[in-house]
Structure formats: structure tokens, C-alpha cells
Structure 1
Amino acid sequence: MLIGISKLISPELLKILMEMGHSDEIVIADGNFPGASHAQRLVRADGHNIPELLDAILQLFPLDQYVEKPAALMGVVPGDTAETPIWAEYGAIIEARTGLKEPFEEVERFAFYERAKKAYAVIATGESALYANLILKKGVIQ
């Protein structure tokens, strides 16, 4: 363990976050996401929920300040009546950590899957909320 690094950040995840460069993307995936079949690098975070993990990551990881929307959400499939209250939680965490009030773009489900395949890594969590998948674009360390 290290001082100042959340116990939610595993050694493997810390290594991945350090390896990533400016504009690389990382997916924080819910429990339904096909992470193993989509990831170039898969990090297991089973048993963890995304909001707590997102907060821990944003203590170490700047979002890209050179793009309008440095975070992406998987959009709800047309006709699906699923609610997405977790998105507001993400927004509050990102605003508290970065000051960004509108950091999200919504990406259609299959376009999200294709983008995830190109991401630097996918973090597979135990998050049970529907449409909880999130992509973060890394910024510059100053």
C-alpha cells in the first residue's frame, strides 16, 4: 500500500493509469459490459462500484482539457425505458474533482463498443446500475 492512493486502485490499475498518455482512453465498465472480449488490456475490479472507483481514479488522473467532452456515456438504446440516475452521480464526482459541469458526450451502444475496443484499457467492475459504462480521456499532467 502507499500513502495517498485509494485502496480501490490496485497495483495493476495504477500501472495502467501511469502508462497511459495524453488522449488515451480508459473504459470503466459495469458488470454487464463484455470487457474480456473488447479489451486490449483488462483490469478486474470486481466487487467495486463505479462511483467510488471514478472518484479514486480522478484523484490521480486529469481529464483531457483540450477536448470539449472528456468523458463518454453509453447512450440508452431507443425504446429502452431504463433510467440512468448514476449519470448524475458521475457528473457530481467529475465536477467536484475537475470543475467541469458538462463533461459528457452520449455514445450509441454499438459505437461505444467499437470505441471501447480501441481504448487503452477496460476496467471490469461489479457495478449493477444499467447503462453505467463510462469512458475517460486522459489529460496532461502539469
Structure 2
Amino acid sequence: MKKHGILNRDIARVLASLGHTDQIVIADCGLPVPPGVECIDLSIKLGVPSFLDVLTELLMDMEVEAFILAEEIKTENSYINQIFSRQEIPTYYLPHEKLKQETSKAKVIIRTGESTPYANVILRAGVIF
């Protein structure tokens, strides 16, 4: 049994298979999942697990070179937006409709129980060397 890191076997599998520039999504409970994109649904009830809980754990186990967020998060979810503004990782913004289109390129969408507006992020994999 794993002693450290992500315990969820599906998330651990996806992280182990990522290459440079591959994308994964951490999503609120309302983001649509495009056909053909794997969804790992962690939601139990509204708010559980939270977007922040899942993001925090993934950032400890994944090399991320960029965040991609919806433009609307700047005005509609300042709490989540502030979390990204404190990161040293470059952050890019797209209109929400374009962000939803971009999720079709993701290896996986990890669905949380988050129910605050626009709490979705695309994580672009970096390299550790």
C-alpha cells in the first residue's frame, strides 16, 4: 500500500502516465464532461471534497507548468482566484465557454463536490528535469 502521495488509484495512475504539456482538469460538480474524456468523480455531496482540497494534494504530487482558468473567476469567485494569484506558476485565462472546449483535450477531469462559481482549472503538466 502507498505510504505517501495520492491514494486514489485512478488519480495516481493518471499522474504516473502524464507527459510534458498533457492536461488534467479539476472541476466543480457542474462542469460538463466532454465525450471521450475520462472522469474521476470524487464528489460525495455539495462541497465535499472541496476544489481546494483536491488542488492542494495534486500540486504536491504533480509538476505543473501552467494553470488555465475561466476569465469569469476574476469577478465571480475571488476566493479561488486569490489562491492562483499567490502561486508562482503562470496563470492564463480563457472565457468560460472556451475553457469548456479546452477540457476536451484533457487526459482526465477530476470532479469535486465544489459548488462555487467557475471553480475549474486546467493543469498543464511540466517536467521535473
**What is the TM-score when the length of structure 2 is the normalising length?**
0.85
Match of 2:80 in 1: 86
CA displacement at 1:127 relative to structure 2: 0.7
Q: Are 1:111 and 2:108 counterparts?
A: no
Taking the aligned partners of 2:53 and 2:77, their CA distance within structure 1 comes to 20
| C-alpha distance after superposition, 1:23-45 (max 9, x if no partner) | 0011101111112x355111111
Match of 2:56 in 1: 55
Hey, which bits of structure 1, 4+ residues long, moved more than 3 A?
none
CA contact (8 A) 1:84 1:132 kept: no
Match of 1:14 in 2: 12
Taking the aligned partners of 2:77 and 2:114, their CA distance within structure 1 comes to 15
Taking the aligned partners of 1:88 and 1:45, their CA distance within structure 2 comes to 24
Match of 1:67 in 2: none
Q: 1:114 to 1:62 in 2, by over 3 A?
A: same
CA contact (8 A) 2:26 2:51 kept: yes
* Structure 2 spans left out of the alignment, 5+ residues: none
**Which letter does structure 2 place at the counterpart of 1:40?**
V
CA contact (8 A) 1:39 1:121 kept: no
Q: Are 1:29 and 2:27 counterparts?
A: yes
Cα RMSD, aligned residues only: 2.0
Taking the aligned partners of 2:49 and 2:36, their CA distance within structure 1 comes to 18
**What is the TM-score when the length of structure 1 is the normalising length?**
0.78
**Which letter does structure 2 place at the counterpart of 1:45?**
L
- The structure that is strand-richer by fraction is 2
Q: Percent identity?
A: 26
* Structure 1 spans left out of the alignment, 5+ residues: 65-69
CA contact (8 A) 2:62 2:125 kept: yes
